[in-house]
Amino acid sequence: MTNTLLQDWTTPFQIAPFAEISDDDFAPALEEALAAHLAEIDAIAQNPVAPTFENTIEAMEGAGEMLGNVLSVFYMIAGADSNPKRQELQRDFSPKLSAHSSAINGNAALFARVEKLWAARDTLDLNEEQTRVLMLTHRGFVRAGAALTGDDEATMTKVKSRLAVLGTEFVQNLLKDESDWFMPLSEEALAELPDFVQDAAQAAGTDKDAGGPVVTLSRSLIVPFLQFSPRRDLREKAYNAWAARGANGGETDNRGIAGETLKLRETRAKLLGYPDFAHYKLETEMAGTPDAVRDLLMQVWEPAKAQANKDAAILENLLHKDGYEGPLEPWDWRYYSEARRKTEHDLDEAILKPYLQLERMIDASFSCASRLFGLEFKELDLPLYHEDCRVWEVTKEDEHIALFIGDYFARGSKRSGAWCSAMRAQARKPKLQTPIVINVCNFAKPSAGKPALLSYDDARTLFHEFGHALHQMLSDVEYESVSGTSVARDFVELPSQLYEHWLEVPEVLSEFATHADTGEPMPQELLDKVLGAATYDMGFATVEYVASALVDLAFHVGDAPVDPMQKQAEVLESIGMPHAIGMRHATPQFAHVFAGDGYSSGYYSYMWSEVMDADAFEAFEEIGDPFDTATAKRLADTVLSSGGSKDAKELYLAFRGRMPGVEALLKGRGLAAV
């Protein structure tokens, strides 16, 4: 019987034929694809012809197409629509993929060819992108341990294999804690909530087969519950369950995994000659050193903490007026902050939310991309992996550019958060391929027949992830390894965070923020309130983020902590963490850091990129037109189209002419005068 995953796909745009793929296909497909890729690599390594860029580096770029197809499909659905079988496969695949990577990086003949090319690079007549790809390939081998021998080589292989297993376990434990817990709501407790929260609770109850409305640990439901429920006892119960994810004891407890992960990362870094993992990780980033990261974070921390402490005193006073004694607690902040926002800004999210329909916000994100970059979007009817998914063809001047998939609603089978992935990245060599890009979000799914409504934060998330998608769609490079978002971690968030700014452009909200029931545009008075409150509660938002980034950095500088939870407590005490604010991601649920190496020692990167995005949007503001075509073209030609084909700093300088300071960020967050 043929395995669809291993065939040439004749579907439109060669999208994966999801309807023809079963879970039983993945394991045999992976085995065959791994073997095929190793055979391709071995042929490159054993080529009797002297190494050239084309027969070694470019050949490596083209190898593994079958494996890429298998993994792109599997990890897409494993993250967005998991089930017990797929989780079992993830656990099985992790060590196999780690061993596969180690086999390639440990191929002495292959590394010798790369070494020869690197040594002779000045004589190879390479263009700028080829030189960059050669450098990145050589550096990747060295940083993966290709130069290690004997016991050190064996130890590195074991370390990477174990890290892969631990990352998978961390994510699956977190998903199980999130999907297992829910809190039933009585009719009285439900009636005290706004209609949109009631609808989300009803839908969640249906999804859980709970026989009534529930609160779950999905951010899209628990956050509005914490904002609007006057029941302090229920807020406390829900918040504590949310905060305890990954730390409930038993099989799903992530604290031991975090400790082992940190120790293994330290071992890995020291095998390669670095003092600790942070120095190893940051060597390839824009920041460069742990000191540079900490300096940026502390420049933001102090004014943010000062603002948060001022806000906490006001909110605690509101708590006391309600008859509660004692300090403001973390389960109180969002509720009293929402009450204060109604008073000070006359802005009620329950009134605002009907104007932020998911459908209209999707239209808004597409419209901005059309005005800025000339892209057009046509929805298609293609079978995807879940009924909630949608797909659009993206064109520019009638030429096919990409496919874009949107998977917007929360469900128990989807891991939390929001992300962008490329199921196929753009490249021109060794063969032409256009990208297939997907945005995955966790917005509350409405009851049947009702429109999906977003919070303002949800709408920002939609624009953020679409900014990542644009980085993939507009990529225009030769080689996949430097395509799209294949850039320094502290540069990758620049396009996404920059795109958020267009949500705040008044003419965008005026056109697309229309009422779900009446179709009327958002009144100017409400629009003014929304924009006027854009930096409201920014002390809280900044503190919860920067605290997480500082803990992440501290975990990876110096010796790995024996007890990560104790280290977390020590860091928070040393920086004076406000009592009523929790970390955005406490250690046992810090998937950015412990699901893999992606954001380890790199969670700061959102802030590093924000320094640039605040300054980059000023390029449009200085001209007085957020849709200035010349500035948009310069942005596309430098940052968005170049991927990692050039150094990140070089790309930003090409767009802006200078590097920014932290001032624009503090101004944008309303913290400059604190």
pLDDT tens digit string along 47-103?
999 999 999 999 999 999 999 999 999 999 999 999 999 999 999 999 999 999 999
Q: What is the pLDDT of residue 598?
A: 86
The stretch 306-310 carries a mean pLDDT of 97
Question: How far, in Å, CA of 20 to CA of 51, rounded?
Answer: 41
Contact 655, 638 (CB under 8 A): yes
Q: What is the pLDDT of residue 468?
A: 98
pLDDT band at residue 358 under the 50/70/90 scheme? very high
Give the class (CATH, top level) of 4-144: mainly alpha
Higher pLDDT, 446 or 170: 170
Give the closest residue to 305 by CA, choosing from 536, 534, 584, 541. 541
Instruction: Say which range, 204-208, 405-409, 581-585, has the weakest mean pLDDT.
Output: 204-208
Contact 274, 559 (CB under 8 A): no
Q: What is the pLDDT of residue 56?
A: 98
Domain 251-347+537-603 identical in fold to domain 354-532: yes
Name the CATH code of domain 354-532 (choices 2.40.30.10, 1.10.1370.40, 2.60.40.1220, 3.40.640.10): 1.10.1370.40
pLDDT at 661 over 90: no
Q: How high is the mean pLDDT of the chain?
A: 95
The stretch 3-31 carries a mean pLDDT of 95
- What's the CATH superfamily of 251-347+537-603? Neurolysin, domain 3 (1.10.1370.10)
Q: What is the pLDDT of residue 673?
A: 61
Range of 198-212, 354-368, 523-537 with top mean pLDDT: 354-368
Q: What is the pLDDT of residue 481?
A: 97
Contact 30, 75 (CB under 8 A): no
Q: What is the pLDDT of residue 423?
A: 96
**Tokens at residue 219, please?**
């951010």
Q: What is the pLDDT of residue 447?
A: 84
- H/E stretch holding 197: helix 195-208
| pLDDT tens digit sequence for 628-660 | 999 999 999 999 999 999 999 999 999 999 999
Calculate the CA dihedral of residues 79, 157, 551, 490 and round it to 10 degrees.
-70
> Annotated catalytic sites, by residue?
465
Prediction pTM value: 0.92
**Percent residues over pLDDT 90 in the chain:** 93
Q: Is the peptide bond before 430 cis (omega within 30 degrees of 0)?
A: yes
What type of residue sits at position 220?
S
| pLDDT tens digit sequence for 557-587 | 999 999 999 999 999 999 999 999 999 999 9
Q: What is the pLDDT of residue 674?
A: 57
Instruction: Say which range, 123-132, 554-563, 617-626, 659-668, has the weakest mean pLDDT.
Output: 659-668
| pLDDT tens digit sequence for 375-402 | 999 999 999 999 999 999 999 999 999 9
For the chain, give every domain's residue range: 4-144, 181-245, 251-347+537-603, 354-532
Question: How far, in Å, CA of 380 to CA of 499, rounded?
Answer: 25
